[in-house]
Amino acid sequence: MEAGKKIKRIGVLTSGGDSPGMNAAVRAVARTALYYGIECIGIRRGWQGLINGDFVILTSDMVRHILGRGGTVLYTARSDEFMTEAGRLKAVGTCKMLGLDGVVAIGGDGTFKGALELSRLGVPVMGIPATIDNDIGCSNYTIGFDSACNTAIECIDKLRDTMQSHERCSVVEVMGRHAGFLALYVGIAVGATSVLIPEKELDFENDVIVRIQNARLAGATHFMVVVAEGAGSAIDIGQRIKESLGMDPRVTVLGHIQRGGSPTGRDRETATRMGYYAVRAFAEGRTGSIICTREGGIVETPIEEALAMKKHLQMDRYEILEAIASSGVYQGSK
């Protein structure tokens, strides 16, 4: 951004998979922009909308009641066209046509890769991490994670009621793509018998079969196995349990229900703070960064640096899960 240039108009878009709290972030961007005397344009349908010129002017009234709504009022879409140079040049043309002095992009890694390419073509950008996977390396937390965890926990608690009544085993697959953050958090919260995550190589006999056997010997009559989608198929795990133990597990794939619903207080508050800081950065002449949470505060990380950062699962949480689960099961085999 040119030094001393006054920001008059910015755009905001949501891209990639939706997550609870995206609307709260859009609201915060629009309201903060108005606070700084900046006009805010909502770009609908992500990067594809920027190519097509699909937009709406965001007024205070338009974002008044979206704080607690799930999904995204700006819609979201993946764009193969934006992956091409021709598509990105069209997007730059739209920015010029609309007179945008910058774009706030809300989403995950794919969204930020698009933002980086746009910035290389001269469009100032800021990113806000929003994904239920919580797998953005530069940020301790991403918008939507807490809401997705609570949705999964509520569903599993209800499944546990019926599994307990029928003395059965339940295998539940949660989302998370190639990361086990969601599965491990949920597994600890519901007291799962076993949790399978992509960060830990599966030893089916010890990680699943032995744990179920020991739990049964200790008096348990129902068992809960939580599987991260990146660790394997819950259907396959259920079949292997049936073949090994003669049980008839009930398999549930929670799927996209985890993306929906009203965001939790944590996601609303985090989204609001991130939206505010993204616009404030523009107003103060800073661009090209991702708004991140780190050690309880908000920091800005350059996009290129942010994309190079990897996020590792805190395996001490898996150790906690093992310790808590093991202390309540049969000890005679030790």
DSSP symbols for 36-54:
TT-EEEEETTHHHHHHHT-
Would the pLDDT of 333 be above 50? Answer: no
> Taking Cα atoms as reference points, which of 282, 270, 312 lies closest to residue 129?
270
| pLDDT mean across residues, the chain | 93
CATH architecture of 147-259: 3-Layer(aba) Sandwich (3.40)
**Alpha helix ranges (H) inside 284-333:** 303-308, 315-326
Q: For 173-231, how does the pLDDT look when each residue is reduced to its tens digit (9 = 90+)?
A: 999 888 999 999 999 999 999 999 999 999 999 999 999 998 888 888 889 999 999 99
Amino acid code (one letter) for 51:
I
Which pair of tokens denotes residue 232?
């394997």
Q: How would residue 324 be classed by pLDDT, with cut points 50, 70 and 90?
A: confident
- 267 an active-site residue? no
Same CATH topology for 9-144+263-308 and 147-259: the answer is yes
Catalytic, out of 18, 54, 101, 133: 133
The per-residue pLDDT for 327 is 61
Q: Which residues of 14-23 are buried (b: 16+ CB within 10 A; e: fewer)?
A: bbbbbbbbbb
DSSP conformation class of 205: I
Q: For 293-302, how does the pLDDT look when each residue is reduced to its tens digit (9 = 90+)?
A: 998 899 999 9
Amino acid code (one letter) for 140:
N
Q: How would residue 334 be classed by pLDDT, with cut points 50, 70 and 90?
A: very low
Which pair of tokens denotes residue 281?
């950065």
Would the pLDDT of 61 be above 70? Answer: yes
Task: Please give the Cα distance from 333 to 74 (Å, whole number).
Answer: 56
* Under 8 Å between Cβ of 25 and 272: yes
Q: For 259-271, how does the pLDDT look when each residue is reduced to its tens digit (9 = 90+)?
A: 999 999 999 999 9
Which CATH code is given to the segment(s) 9-144+263-308?
3.40.50.450
Would the pLDDT of 332 be above 90? Answer: no
Q: For 105-146, how does the pLDDT look when each residue is reduced to its tens digit (9 = 90+)?
A: 999 999 999 999 999 999 999 999 999 999 999 999 999 999
Q: How would residue 328 be classed by pLDDT, with cut points 50, 70 and 90?
A: low
Amino acid code (one letter) for 124:
P
Q: How would residue 59 be classed by pLDDT, with cut points 50, 70 and 90?
A: very high
Other Cβ atoms within 10 Å of 165 Cβ, number? 10
Q: Would you list the domain boundaries of the chain? A: 9-144+263-308, 147-259
